Amino acid sequence: MHASSQLPTDSLASAEAAWGLLGSRPGKVFAMHIGYRGRAAQKGRTPEAPGFFLKPATSLSTGGEVVMPAGTEIFGFEGEIAIVIGSHARAVDEADAWAHVASVTASNDLGVFDLRWVDKGANIRSKGGDGMTPIGPALLDATRLDPHAIEVRTWLDGELVQEDSTSTLLFSLPQIVSDLSQLITLEPGDVILTGTPANASTLSPGQSVEVEVTATALDGERLSTGRLASTVRVGEQRLPAYSAQPKPTPDQWADASGRPIAEFEPQAAPVLDDELRDKLSRVALATLSSGLRKRGLNNVSIDGLRSTQPGKRMVGTARTLRYVPNREDLFKSHGGGYNAQKRLFDSLQPGEVVVIEARGDNRSGTLGDILALRARHLGAAGLVTDGGVRDLDVVTEIGVPTYHGGGHPAVLGRLHVPWSFDETIACGGATVQPGDIIVGDNDGVLVIPPALARELVEESLQQEAEEEWIAAQVEAGHPVDGLFPMNAEWRAKYEAETAATEGS
E strand spans, 303-380? 306-307, 314-325, 352-357
Q: In what order do the strands lie in the sheet with 101-108?
A: 52-55, 29-32, 191-193, 79-85, 101-108, 133-141, 60-61
Helix and strand element counts for the chain (H, E): 14, 27
Q: CA angle, 121 as apex, 102 and 265 as ends, to 5°? A: 125
Please enumerate, by residue number, every residue annotated as part of a binding site.
368-371, 390-391
Residue 459: CB atoms within 10 Å:
18
Q: Are 81 and 212 in contact (CB under 8 A)?
A: no
Residue 30: burial class (beta carbons within 10 Å; 0-12, 13-18, 19+): buried
DSSP designation for 480 = S
Position 312, amino acid: K
C-alpha distances (whole Å) from 370 to each of 111, 306, 381, 390 are 32, 20, 16, 10
E strand spans, 113-235? 133-141, 150-156, 159-165, 191-193, 201-203, 209-216, 222-224, 228-234
Please enumerate, by residue number, every residue annotated as part of a binding site for substrate.
368-371, 390
**Using N-to-C axis directions, what is the helix angle for 453-475 and 274-282, rounded to 10°?**
30
Please enumerate, by residue number, every residue annotated as part of a binding site for Mg(2+).
391
